[in-house]
Amino acid sequence: MRSSLIRSATTSLTRGNFAKISSSDLSFFERTVGSSYVKTKDIDNYTCDWTKQMKGSSKCVLIPSSTEETSTILKYCAEKRIAVVVQAGNTGLVGGATPLFDEIILSTSRINNNFHLEESSGVLTLDAGIILADADYLLAEKGFMMPLDLGAKGSCQIGGCIAAGAGGIRLLRYGSLHSHLLGCTLVDGKGTIIKLGGSLRKDNTSLHTAHLTIGSEGQLGVITSVTMGVVPRPISILCAMLAVSSYSHCLRLLSLARSKLGEILSSFELIDGETMKCVERHLPIKNIFNEPHDFYLLIETHGSNGDHDGEKLNEFVEEALGAELAEDGVAAHSENERTHMWRLREESPIAAAKDGYIYKFDVSLPLEHFYRLTEETRKKLGTRARVYCYGHLGDGNSHLNVTTDGEDEELKKELSPFVYNWVVSHGGSISAEHGIGQLKRDYRSLGKSEEEISLIRSLKGVFDPHRILCPYKMIPSQE
Ligand code: 2HG
Ligand code: ZN
């Protein structure tokens, strides 16, 4: 049976029956990780999320440097029933890594020493605390690339990317993390160190347990090491931007791009006209088109032959203009121009965050409904709020962002149920790539069957029987 639609988010939370941290607990942690890595002061950067809208009141942050130290901490916490929230780069957008009450924060940022690339197979094993951009930089020296790329690459950590089930801007070309993850080391909620999967490209001997960690949001354990397939660094990366007058033309352009660009099509991103104005209002970046338009598409190709790829991209842009599917089109002729185009898209979330109090959504929708959600939300809210849409059109992933001048409690109560009910009733998902965390907690069962929820709860019980890991979030507890 599927759970029915919700009317409003009313759940009020109370602190779980967890132990409070004592001075003897702190002494134990100091002996385990060293006193400099048990932080009890100036910890706002850890207790508060990226949007600065969610904040907990943890008393301490633990920063272990290894899998073994992580295991010692979790064994102790399980025994004492101390609640723990796992935090990587703290760039998540749903508060999954942010405490709600006084959970201790376990940061993976010091587990960042090991990096080994097996060049013949393109299999990389790296510590979970390594920052995505740093890993990509090290791979570039060997002619390889991280298949995953996202706006937060300068701060997010690879283990956090796996736990968040990050999608990013190249999924269209290289596939999701499910195509790349081969194995990982997980310290479960009892402190047991478990190697999941391995390092082979093909291994069909049992359940693909490592994949359980993708999108697990710290519910099953702490990921301390990751083994994944990486891809050859493309020799040619080309980029173009189109200005478009209607959403239906955007969809026709997506089909045209798929057929004309084929295997080299890497990104197909949408920025709507309101978002572009918002970027120009709040950031020192100019639209690359002189006139405003209703939609902008950012298209990137990754390939191995610049002349060949350039010909294909030019043909695509010419056909788009010739068939009047696009009003204007520009190809990037330098790395600076390409960076400019990407800044418009990647800094859209930053501009929206500067626009006022923000209500963020990250949804998957069948393409026919992708932009209707934005139109319906605008119709519903009228002048009460500003509504922005940008996202990964090629993946059917819309980032709807709504802003108001100040926090509006009434709007908050109405908006999420409206958006999520609309999404589910139009065949979509309430989280495409950002997860559930604390932001979507009240809606986490929407569209899921009771049987699936019960299976998920049972799995949680196997990995974290004391339910100390990341409470109050993605997985409903037994009560
Ligand atoms: C992106 O695609 C990120 O830019 C963030 O997933 C989206 O903040 C957002 O709305
Ligand atoms: Zn995104």
Testing ligand 1's pocket by substitution, the residue of 91, 94, 348, 388 carrying the most ligand atoms inside 8 A of its CB is: 348
Q: For residue 164, give the CATH number of its domain.
A: 3.30.465.10
- Rounded Cα distance, 274 and 293, in Å: 9
Which of the 8 DSSP states describes residue 304? S
Return the percentage of the chain with pLDDT > 90, whole number: 95
Measured CA to CA, the distance from residue 251 to residue 239 in angstroms comes to: 19
Nearest ligand 1 atom to the CA of 362 is 10
Domain at 426, CATH number? 3.30.70.2740
pLDDT of residue 1: 46
Is residue 75 one of the residues assigned to a domain? Answer: no
Whether the pLDDT of residue 93 is over 70: the answer is: yes
Q: How far apart are CA 365 and CA 232, in angstroms?
A: 31
Q: How many helices (H) and strands (E) in the chain?
A: 16, 19
Q: Give me 169's structure tokens.
A: 């801007």
Looking at the domain assignment, is residue 6 inside a domain?
no
* Residue 8 pLDDT greater than 90, yes or no: no
| pLDDT number for residue 69 | 98
457 occurs within a structural domain: no
Which residues is 438 bridged to in the sheet? none
| pLDDT confidence of residue 366 | 98
The DSSP code sequence of 235-271 is SEEEEEEEEES-HHHHHHHHHHHHHHHGGGEEEEEEE
What average pLDDT does range 78-100 have in this prediction? 97
Alpha carbon of 150 to ligand 1 centroid (Å)? 8
Q: Within its chain, how far is the Cα of 354 from the centroid?
A: 20
Summarize the confidence of residues 134-138 as an average pLDDT: 98
Flag whether pLDDT at 2 surpasses 90.
Answer: no
The domain boundary, picked from 348, 382, 404, lies at 348
Global pTM value: 0.95
Mean pLDDT of 348-371: 97
φ/ψ of residue 60, rounded to 5: -155, 155
Do 139 and 240 fall within a single domain? no
Structure confidence at residue 53 as a pLDDT band (50, 70, 90): confident
Stretch 173-181: mean pLDDT? 97
List, in order, residues 6 or more apart from 180 with CB less than 8 Å away: 147, 148, 174, 228, 229, 230
Q: Is the C-beta atom of 212 inside 6 A of ligand 1?
A: no
Centre of ligand 2 to C-alpha 21, Å, is 37
Q: Whose CA is nearest to atom 5 of ligand 1?
A: 349
- The string of DSSP letters for 358-389 reads EEE-BEE--HHHHTHHHHHHHHHHGGG-EEEE
| Residue 425 alpha carbon to ligand 1 centre in Å | 23
Domain boundary among 232, 257, 287: 232
User: Using one digit for the tens of pLDDT, what is the confidence trace for 286-323?
Assistant: 999 999 999 999 999 999 999 999 999 999 999 999 99
**Ligand 1 contact via 401 beta carbon (within 6 Å):** yes
Q: Which ligand is nearest to the CA of 278?
A: 1
Phi, psi of 410 (to 5 degrees): -60, -50
- If you measure from the C-alpha of residue 102 to the centroid of ligand 1, how many angstroms do you get, rounded to a whole number? 28
Q: For residues 5 and 425, is the Cβ–Cβ distance under 8 A?
A: yes
In which band, very low, low, confident or very high, does the pLDDT at 450 lie, cut at 50, 70 and 90? very high
The phi, psi pair for 347, rounded to 5°, reads -100, 5
Q: Which residues contact 177 (CB under 8 A, 6 or more apart)?
A: 148, 161, 162, 165, 166, 214, 228
Based on the fold, state whether residues 208 and 281 are members of the same structural domain: no
The verdict on 408 and 367 lying in the same domain is yes
Pocket test for ligand 1, best of 172, 362, 386 (most atoms within 8 A of CB): 362
User: Which atom number of ligand 1 is nearest to the Cα of residue 361?
Assistant: 10
The structural domain count of the chain equals: 3
The residues, ordered by sequence, that sit 6+ positions from 351 with a Cβ below 8 Å of its Cβ are 275, 278, 279, 281, 282, 283
Q: Mean pLDDT score of the chain, rounded to an integer?
A: 95
**Which of 184, 211, 232 is the C-terminal boundary of a domain?**
232
The range of the structural domain enclosing residue 190 comes to 115-232
Q: Are residues 240 and 215 in the same domain?
A: no
* Cβ contact 49:97 at 8 Å: yes
Q: Could you tell me if the CB of 360 is within 6 A of ligand 1?
A: yes
Given a cut of 60, is residue 9 above it in pLDDT?
Answer: no
Statement to judge: residues 247 and 290 lie in one domain: yes
Whether residue 314 is found in the same domain as residue 411: no
In-domain check, residue 312: yes
Using a 6 Å cutoff on CB, does residue 151 contact ligand 1? yes
- The answer to whether residue 84 sits within a structural domain is no
Do 299 and 339 fall into the same domain?
Answer: yes
Residue 3 has pLDDT above 60, yes or no: no
Q: What is the per-residue pLDDT for 10?
A: 43
Q: Helix 372-381 to helix 409-425 angle, to the nearest 10 degrees?
A: 150
Residues 324 and 375 in one domain: no
On whether residue 51 sits in a domain, the answer given is: no
Q: Within a domain: residue 324?
A: yes
Place of tokens 């605390």: 129
How close is the Cα of 30 to the center of ligand 2, in Å?
38
Q: What is the DSSP letter of 312?
A: H
Q: Are residues 303 and 412 in the same domain?
A: no
* Neighbouring-strand partners of residue 332: none
The encoded tokens of residue 64 equal: 């272990």
pLDDT tens, position by position, 241-276: 999 999 999 999 999 999 999 999 999 999 999 999
* Cα 151 to ligand 2 centroid, rounded to whole Å: 8
93 C-beta closer than 6 A to ligand 1: yes
Q: CATH number, domain at 248?
A: 3.30.70.2190
Q: To test ligand 1's pocket by mutation, which of 49, 300, 390 has the most ligand atoms within 8 angstroms of CB?
A: 390
302 shares a domain with 255: yes
Residue range 383-413, pLDDT digits in tens = 999 999 999 999 999 999 999 999 999 999 9
Which band of pLDDT confidence, cut at 50, 70 and 90, is reported for residue 447? confident
Give the number of the atom of ligand 1 that is nearest the alpha carbon of residue 399.
10
One domain, residues 217 and 275: no
Cβ–ligand 1 contact at 92 (below 6 Å): no
Is 153's pLDDT higher than 60? yes
Strand partners, 269: 298
**Ligand 2 centroid – CA 27 distance (Å):** 41
| Residues 125 and 156 both lie in one domain | yes
Residue 196 falls inside a structural domain: yes
